[in-house]
Structure 1
Amino acid sequence: MIPNQEVASLALYRRVMGYLRPHWKVFAVSLLTMTIAAATEPLFARLMKPLIDGGFVDRDPAAIIWTPLAIVGLFLVRGVASFINEYSSSWLSGHLVQSLREEMFARMLRLPVNYYDHHPSGRILSRVAFDVTQVSEAGFNVITVTVKDGITVIGLLGLLLYTDWKLTLICLAVMPAVSFCVRFVSRRLRGLSRKNQQDMAQLTQVLSESIDCQRVVKIYGGEAYEATRFGRAAEAIRHNLVKERSTSAASTGVTQLIIACALAVILYYAGVQAQAGHFSAGDFMSFLTAMLMLFAPIKRITSISQTVQKGLAAAESVFSFLDEQGEADHGRVRLQAPKGELVFERVSFTYPGAERLALDGVELSVRAGETVALVGSSGSGKTTLTSLIPRFYEPDGGRILLDGIPLTEISLASLRANIALVSQDVVLFNDSVAANIAYGRIGEVSLDEVREAARAANALEFIEAMPQGFDTMIGENGTRLSGGQRQRLAIARAILKNSPILILDEATSALDTQSERLVQSALERLMQGRTTLVVAHRLSTIENADRIVVMHQGQVAEAGRHQELLAQDGIYKTLHRLQYQAGGEQG
């Protein structure tokens, strides 16, 4: 009965090796050269017999000449074979890591938003950057040691059996003890490797957060706190690494002690055999050389257990990530010039782990080309409702239709191609201004189109004042720009996309009063003929909307135009009065 862990390990190996199948020719060359290099070990030991018996005992001149030349030729073959093997092995390992990283990144892009809500970014980064390199160790590098040293051990044992089978049996007698030691250590190393991955993910998380939130850290004096968090993570990695190394060292030491005891017994019996005349000096030297040469490959094979367990633990992590379910995309409908009519039919949604519904039976119809503003207190469901349109989340109940077609029947690519989004949290990339505005359409639009989008978003003036204009690099998430400038670039990106559906989630929140007026007028021109949903806290920005929908506790509480809602003396009027009493324009 094979233990479950070994079955899982074999399955992992088969999966890892599947990535090397397209490069089977290089793999075959590597195995061939590996075998040639391994075969030179027992051949060298065998050459000791003619060298000693012929050169030193019988004093044969021919043996004195050809044996050294044979040794030189043997090592020449070994050197060439080893070089080809090392080169092909590193080439294959590099391709394995590259293939896994590319597949993981592609999977990461297809994961649903909900996955990122529940998994820290540090763990994801650690998997792609750190765990993958460990998989390569469990992949081809382990095979290199196992095959090459395995062939060497088999060849040397064959030579030992040929020279004296009785002495060789003593060598084989210690194998069960060595095997038991290796198996025991392997289980412990696998657990320690899993712990190391978790600790490395924590370290990466702290590091990532300290970089992303460095302004908050500085202003609130969090340096000592972050240093303590980082120190704890680094200490956990160090402590675990010491455990790994000590376990591996103990395993190697015990294994070598067992082998040394066997060697002592062998040397004793070999001496007895030599005294009885059953062993020539050449036989003894050949046997002793082969025996001593067994140490290095056996040590590598026993030591490889640590690498194997690290790699297998990393493979578990990598493949569990690759096996994560991507976004459900069963839609087959591809939209052709959609009008933009949206209908919400009793839509309900709950965030995992939340105590109450974020949306509770929402009924709402948005006509094509209509501008609908969503207002309400924080947590009322405004942003959640707009997040369901591009299917960042799937509703728990009810359905949403676009031009009469359920969103689930529309392919994600086609659906999102017809939606533009500008959120309160502006996302920009460490690229040029032009690349950020044309994001997703680079190479499809001209610089003139990018320039016009920037002009419409009131961004052209500050862009042209930059050192390289549209080619200026803006830094990570636009750190070299002001908040208003970042927001205007995001608006320019939405303008350039020219989608029939617009989602504006506090799109003007980071603008000063002058820029807000200019951008607001540009947005109003852009919204003409397009279905637009505007999430707003400042009511002054949505007074001219075709319809204002008031959300309260996940439901539509009121709906109508600005003046109509004020006349109803309901939630909207209360919000309006409170905002202006507090100085609404600050709001």
Structure 2
Amino acid sequence: MTTIPATSSFALYKRVLGYLRPYWKVFLVSLLSMSIAAATEPAFARLMKPLIDGGFVNKDGSSLIWAPLAIVGLFLVRGLTSYINEYSTSWLTGHLVQTLREEMFAKLVRLPVNYYDDHPSGRLLSRIAFDVNLVTEAGFNVITVTVKDGITIIGLLGLLFYTDWQLTLICLAVLPVVSLCVRVVSKRLRGLSRQNQQNIAQLTQVLGETIDCHRVVKVYGGEGYEAQRFQRTAEAIRHNGVKQSATSSANTGVTQLFIACALAAILYFAALRAHSGSFTAGDFMSFLTAMLMLFAPVKRITSISQSLQKGLAAAESVFGFLDEQGEPDNGTRRLQGTRGELLFDNVQFSYPAAERPALQDICFAVKPGETVALVGSSGSGKTTLVSLIPRFYEPSAGRILLDGIPLTDITLASLRQHIALVSQDVVLFNDSVAANIAYGRIGEVSREQVVEAARAANALEFIEAMPQGFDTLIGENGVRLSGGQRQRLAIARALLKNAPILILDEATSALDTQSERLVQAALENLMQNRTTLVIAHRLSTIEHADRIVVMHQGRIAEVGNHAALIAQDGLYANLHRLQFKEPAHD
């Protein structure tokens, strides 16, 4: 997988900030408000000098009036600017998360099929659901702390220098040590953050599989095994969290120790100066207040490394995903219509790391409106072959032509617009019956067209018997429907699409006899006047196909109609005997 190198933190940060460009005015307001809020802290420390020297030492009554009022005004300004900063930052964070999620989802639906084959769904879900939120740690929380506390530290250091530069130098002596601690800890935290993202992805994967396969888990008594898988992953997340907290806490503790040593030295020398008379009580109070106020922002600045490394590790994951190559779509031709003539010209295909090619030397043509059945044992390459037609995969060699046009010359959207697919594993959405039938054409077709498609698919009777008819929610992947009902909804969806090329991938293999009869009748309606490729497990369903292509170990072994292949007494005849228990020919 393509990822941005861990060392390119600046490049990651620059890319995150690039998403703020459309909202630069709001970002400017946020920076301005947090800067004003930060400036109030050194101003408050400075007010200690006139308050102490004027009000308590010199007994100046006016100082006792205006100094407290100035403090109230200062905190009024601070409260208002802090509110503006928090609101604008939250607004920007929301837009950043939304934009990244939308971009990631747009990338998700355009990734090639082999990407889904190679990457667990849990990792994909965790990237979009969790990693994006962590990017905001690098995007805004770090900016807020860095800018606000940075200005506070600079202002307080300026006040300290103004009050007594010699004492301030003692403060600066600890900075190199603090910087070294931050650098060492940052590297450690980045690695822990990456590992934590992998652990969360694994946790999501276990959850998803347990939910999707809950029936299998129950019937095979897998509750204990799944609980152990979940426990191991949850424990790994807990260990990682403890390591991150321990690392961050150790960094903060060491930093605070050095600052405390510097503070003790400053107090000692300040007391000597006050004793000699060169340091007033107001100076001392102002210096001490600034020193104490400096402690908190320095602590936050040194602790921000954990959030920063989490955010940058998440940004690596998010941008690595966004940089993945989508499906190759270099075609320029858009089909206005098609006759449905297909030609497989010496097609070959190999899966990555496979021991042998899945398809070899595939050469045959399908005439417009012809029904061609593909049969053969499991692993013979039938599903792989039909997957090349909508370009779910690209041939390793050879080419496929539609009406004499190479598929690679046609845009993906235009090509797939002319193809309908009905498979054994029906995919339905947790939506209404009508929405599932009209999927891909919602808003383009009328309710009457949806009803007509359902009627042609022999689905109208059971749909009208449902509580809300076509508006009934069918549950996740049609869980409230039987296998035959789900299959007929898929056929209605294909009928409504009205594509000239139809692919049927073992569409009746998992059905009982009654359901198969209804589905088969619906399929016959669907196949009329369409170029159809049928993958069949039950040979009885394809006996009337125009041609039958028998495949064996990725090659075409036999071609002919049912009668000719039975008479040939080859692979097809043998498969037929196995299914129907026929005696062998003499």
TM-score bracket relative to the smaller structure:
over 0.9
Query: 1:427 Cα shift?
Result: 0.4
State yes or no: 1:399 paired with 2:396.
Answer: no
Shift in Å at residue 325 of structure 1?
A: 0.3
1:162: which partner in 2? Answer: 162
SS in 2 for 1:525: helix
Aligned to 1:99: 99
The 2-side partners of 1:376 and 1:576 are apart by 11
Q: How does 1:463-542 map to 2 (within 5 A)?
A: 463-542=463-542
Distance 2:568 2:507 in 1: 28
Q: Secondary structure of the residue that 1:379 maps to in structure 2?
A: coil
**Counterpart in 1 of 2:380?**
380
Partner of 1:336: 336
Q: How does the TM-score come out when normalised to structure 2? A: 0.98
2:303 is aligned to: 303
Please name the residue that 2:572 is paired with: 572
Equivalence for 2:367: 367
Whole-angstrom distance in 1 between the partners of 2:57 and 2:359: 96
Q: CA 1:10–1:452 in structure 2 vs 1: closer, same or farther (change >3 Å)?
A: same
Q: CA deviation at 1:396?
A: 0.2
CA deviation map 1:464-518 (0-9, x unaligned): 0000000000010011111111111111111111100000001122333233223
Cα displacement string for residues 537-573 of structure 1 (whole angstroms, at most 9, x for unaligned residues)? 1000000111111011111111111101101111110
Report 1:234-383 matches (<5 A). 234-383=234-383
* CA distances 1:205-249 after superposition (whole Å, capped 9, x unpaired): 001100011111111110000000000000000001000001111
Letter in 1 for 2:293: M
Letter in 1 for 2:422: V
Deviation of 1:61 after TM superposition, in Å, equals 1.0
Aligned to 1:203: 203
Q: Once the 2 structures are TM-superposed, how far is the Cα of residue 525 of structure 1 from its aligned partner?
A: 2.9
SS in structure 2 at match of 1:47: helix
Give the whole-Å Cα distance in 1 for the aligned partners of 2:66 and 2:6. 49
Partner of 1:62: 62
- Please list the CA deviations of residues 22-52 of structure 1 after superposition, one character each: whole Å capped at 9, or x if unmatched: 1001000000001000000000000000000
Q: Distance in 2 between matches of 1:218 and 1:514?
A: 29
How far apart, in 2, do the equivalents of 1:198 and 1:431 lie?
Answer: 32
Contact kept? 1:547, 1:560, Cα under 8 Å: yes
Q: Contact between 2:488 and 2:522, CA under 8 Å: does it hold in 1?
A: no
Separation in structure 2 between the aligned mates of residue 526 and residue 272 of structure 1, nearest angstrom: 98
1:353: how far off?
1.6
Conserved? CA contact 1:420–1:501, under 8 Å: yes
Q: Deviations over 1:43-69 (max 9, x none)?
A: 000000000000001111111100000
Partner of 2:8, secondary structure, is helix
Q: Which amino acid counterpart does residue 517 of structure 1 have in structure 2?
A: R
- 1:487·1:510 contact (CA, 8 Å) conserved in 2? no
User: What amino acid is the match of 1:544?
Assistant: H
1:435–1:58 Cα change, 3 Å? same
> Structure 1: 5+ residue runs without aligned partners?
none
Counterpart Cα distance in 2 of 1:311 and 1:345:
50
Contact 2:487 2:519 in 1 (8 A): no
Q: One-letter code of the match for 1:308?
A: L
Q: Is the 8 A contact 2:456 2:525 kept in 1?
A: no
Gaps in structure 2 of 5+ consecutive residues: none
User: Any conservation in 2 of the 1:504–1:534 contact (CA below 8 Å)?
Assistant: yes
Match of 1:416 in 2: 416
Distance 1:536 1:519 in 2: 14
Query: Secondary structure at 2:109's aligned position in 1?
Result: helix
Q: Using the alignment, how far apart are the partners of 2:79 and 2:465 within structure 1?
A: 62
TM-score, structure 1 length as denominator?
Answer: 0.98
- For 2:453 and 2:75, the matched residues in 1 are separated by 69
Per-residue deviation at 1:185?
Answer: 0.5
Q: Secondary structure at the match of 2:523?
A: helix
Counterpart amino acid of 1:149?
D
Check conservation: 1:505, 1:534, Cα contact below 8 A: yes
**Cα distance between partner residues in 2 of 1:515 and 1:143:** 62
Q: Can you list the C-alpha shifts for 1:148-168, whole angstroms capped at 9, x where unaligned?
A: 000000000000000000000
Distance in structure 1 (CA, Å) of the matches to 2:391 and 2:314: 32
For 1:7 and 1:320, how far apart are their aligned partners in 2? 14
Q: Could you tell me which amino acid in structure 2 is paired with residue 522 of structure 1?
A: A
- Corresponding letter in the other structure for 2:575: L
Q: How many angstroms does 1:5 deviate by? A: 7.2
**How far apart are residue 526 of structure 1 and its match?**
2.5
Change (3 A) 1:407 1:562: same
Q: Deviations over 1:223-280 (max 9, x none)?
A: 0000000000000000010000011111100000000000000000000010111100
Q: List per-residue Cα deviations over 1:406-452 (Å, max 9, x = no partner).
A: 00000000000000000111100000000000000001011111111
| 1:147 aligns to 2:147 (yes or no) | yes
Residue 561, structure 1, aligned to residue 532, structure 2: no
Tell me, what secondary structure is at the counterpart of 1:288? Answer: helix
Q: Can you list the C-alpha shifts for 1:128-152, whole angstroms capped at 9, x where unaligned?
A: 1111110001101110100000000
Residues 138 and 312 in structure 2, CA contact (< 8 A), matched pair in contact too: yes
SS at match of 1:442: coil
Residue 491 of structure 2 contacts residue 522 of structure 2 at CA under 8 Å; is this kept in 1? no
Distance 1:100 1:6 in 2: 20
| Equivalent residues of 1:210, 1:217 under 8 A apart | yes
Does the CA-based 8 Å contact 1:487-1:511 persist in structure 2? no
2:340·2:369 contact (CA, 8 Å) conserved in 1? Answer: yes
